[in-house]
Every structure is written in C-alpha cells, then in structure tokens.
Amino acid sequence: MVNDCAAVLLAGGQSSRMGRPKAWLEFGGRPLLAWLVERLLTVFPEALVVGAPGQDLPETPARVLRDEVPGQGPVGGLVVGLREAGHPFAFVASCDVPFLNPAVAEYLAHVCACYDVAVPEWEGRLHPVQAVYRTSVQPVLAEMLAAGIRRPIALFEQVRTCIVREEELRALDREGRTFLNVNTPEEYEAARREWDYWRSQ
C-alpha cells in the first residue's frame, strides 16, 4: 500500500469513437470503471473518479468529482482530481485501460517521491494519463488550462519530471498491457477476448 498517494480515474471523455460510455463497458460481468477502482484500491488508500457534469457513472467505492467545465480533456480532469485528492501524490489514469497493472502504478508512485511527476514511456511514447503527479503541481495545470493548453505533456518542462523508461517497466509488465486502451468497438471486442483468456490463466 502506498499511503501517501491517491488514485484518480478520469472518466469524463466523450467516448465518441466507442459510441457509448467507456466507464460502463462490461468486463467480467461488471462495468470497467468498477473493476479499475477495485484494482487501484489494492495499492492506494483513496480513489477518486472525475466525470463530466451530469454524467451517469457506475457505482464504485470511489469519491465522484465533476469537471468544472466539460470538454477540457485530461488537463481539466487533472485540475479537479489533484485539487481534491487527500494525499500529496496522485496516480492518474483514464477509465479505458482494462489491463491496468497496479504494480506499475505502485512503482511510479515510489519513483515520484523525489519528483513532481513520474511519467512512463512505452514504445517511444509518454503516457501522461497513466502517471503519478505531486498534487502541488495543480496550480500550474490550472494556469495551463486558463491559457487554453490542454495537453498534460506541456507540464513536464515546467516541473521536476522523471521519465520512467520502458526497460524499467518491463520488469513489472513485460508486454506493456497496462497501456492498452480501448477507443473503438473493435478494440473493445479484441480486449474482451484477451480478457477472457487472461482471466482463465
């Protein structure tokens, strides 16, 4: 258990390519959001879900927050989630990653102890929506949002950021399944097939 870090799940996206809310996608007989909250509470003492205003969300043990202005992307969710988290750090993830690996999240939290952000890099790409943030960077993100900057990566040049390289992550998740997200019905069906196989092992 990482006692100084909360878990924040961003669920307020429009799911336009999926055609239906990702938080409600069924995996293992329950909504994906419920599964993710349950997984993250195995390593973090607090879970928060940031949804859009008026968005219908599955019931979970997490505290539900709402984006102040809809349609502002992950930075809008980060601003709300980091402000309300009751711990000095927060692991932040989207709600469309069915194979999210708590061991990776826990490792990032430990790395971030000496930084403001610990962001994983996989296959040459940074994953700012599966990273750990010191909650004190919230005002910087709020300034970015006010300036119309909606990409979390813009934060990394302004604060102490540790990029956690792929070779470190492979020791915890050899194939990087934690970074697989589902954006389309085809990706969802493929993930469900993989889920059924994964859960049967």
At 199 the pLDDT is 66
Can you give the pLDDT at residue 197? Answer: 67
The Cα–Cα gap between 130 and 100 comes to: 9
- Torsion angles phi and psi, residue 57, rounded to 5: -125, 150
Report phi then psi at 196, rounded to 5. Answer: -60, -40
Residue 198: predicted pLDDT: 65
**Residue 40's pLDDT is what?**
97
Residue 20 has a pLDDT of 85
**Continuous segment of H or E residues that includes residue 3:** none
pLDDT of 69: 82
Which alpha helices (H) appear in the chain, and where do they start and end? 32-40, 73-84, 102-111, 138-146, 166-169, 185-200
Give burial (CB, 10 Å; 0-12/13-18/19+) of 197. exposed
Q: What pLDDT shows up at residue 53?
A: 92
What does the pLDDT read at residue 70?
Answer: 81
> In the prediction, which pLDDT does 196 show?
77
Binned average pLDDT, 10 residues per bin, the chain of 201 residues = 97 80 91 96 98 94 93 93 98 96 98 98 97 98 95 96 98 96 93 78 50
Closest C-alpha among 150, 137, 181 to residue 69: 150
Would you state the pLDDT for residue 71? 82
Domain ranges, ordered by start, for the chain: 5-200
Q: CA distances (Å), 49 to each of 9, 151, 178, in order?
A: 5, 20, 19
SS3 38: helix
3-state DSSP assignment of residue 181: coil
pLDDT at 167: 97
Q: Is 25 helix (H, G, I), strand (E, B) or coil?
A: coil
| Cβ 62 vs Cβ 50: under 8 Å | no
- In this structure, whether the domain defined by 5-200 belongs to CATH 3.40.50.300 is answered with no
